[in-house]
Every structure is written in C-alpha cells, then in structure tokens.
Structure 1
Amino acid sequence: MSLEKLTGTQTLGGHFRWETTYEEKDWKIQHHKTTKAGLKPYRLLDPHNHLMAAADTEEEIKEYMDQIMIH
C-alpha cells in the first residue's frame, strides 16, 4: 500500500487542479490528473478541507477514509 497519512495538513486550495471524484459526509476524495513525479494522484480531505492522506489509487484512499470515518 502506498498510502501517506498526512493528518490535517493545510491545502493550497487546488480548485483548478484537483477534481472531486467521491464525497461522503463532507469528506472528499480528489484526483489530480497531472501530478509531478513524487506526488500522489489521489488525496483525502476532511470536512474542513484539511489534507488527511494521499495515495496512488482511489481504492487505497477510499479504504483509509472508511477506516477513519468509523472512529
């Protein structure tokens, strides 16, 4: 699994570069189609738009989101 936990990191907005692909209870999974080397193409934002995780696949992010939303 290539998930990076980032726990509450502020984002720079990203309205022009990130597309929301899934949303549940104000949590968002977003995809960046043109990520540069070293960056993960998927990210998870909490309801306050803080970055919680990044991963190579949407499935990894969704699985992590499901885990932390249970608690």
Structure 2
Amino acid sequence: MSLVKHMGPRTLGGHHRWETIYEEKNWKVQHHKMEYFMMAEKPYRLLDPHDHLLASADTEEELKNYLDHLLKH
C-alpha cells in the first residue's frame, strides 16, 4: 500500500495545482495536475472539510477506501 498519512497541515485547497476528482461530506480526493506533477510526492491526496492534508497516495482507490474507513469511525 502506498498510502501516506499526514498530521493534517493546512493547505490552501489546491485550486491551481490540484483537481478535485471526488467529494463526500466536504472531504476531497484531489489529483495533482500534470504540469505540476513533479512537485508532488504522491499524485493523489485527501483533504478534510477544513482543507487539512490527511493522506496522500499513488491511487484514487486507496484514498477512497481510507475515506470510507474514516467516515465509518
């Protein structure tokens, strides 16, 4: 599994470098836009409703599964 958990640093929401590809209950899974890809550690990230970074991963599915886990608990 390539999921990396983060301590929740605040982000600016990523409107210029990140595209929201999935949203549930104001949680966002975002994908790094290609022209900026080399600047990102992982191409996908999970933001909480307050734009805090909670996880990054190599695949969208990993983050969706992690989000499902978070929302159930």
Unaligned runs of 5+ in 2: none
Task: Give the distance between the partners of 2:51 and 2:40, measured in 1 at CA.
Answer: 22
Unaligned runs of 5+ in 1: none
2:47 is aligned to: 45
Q: Which amino acid aligns with 1:6?
A: H
Deviation at 1:58?
A: 0.1
Provide the TM-score with structure 2 as the length reference: 0.87
Task: Give the distance between the partners of 2:16 and 2:46, measured in 1 at CA.
Answer: 16
User: Is 1:6 the equivalent of 2:1?
Assistant: no
Deviation at 1:65?
A: 0.6
Corresponding pairs, count: 71
Match runs of 1:28-67 below 5 Å: 28-34=28-34, 35-36=37-38, 39-67=41-69
Deviation at 1:37?
A: 6.5
Q: Which amino acid aligns with 1:19?
A: E
Moved over 4 A (4+): none
Using the aligned pairs only, state the percent identity: 65
Q: Which amino acid aligns with 1:33?
A: K
Q: Determine which of 63, 66, 71 is the counterpart of 1:69.
A: 71
Deviation at 1:3?
A: 0.3
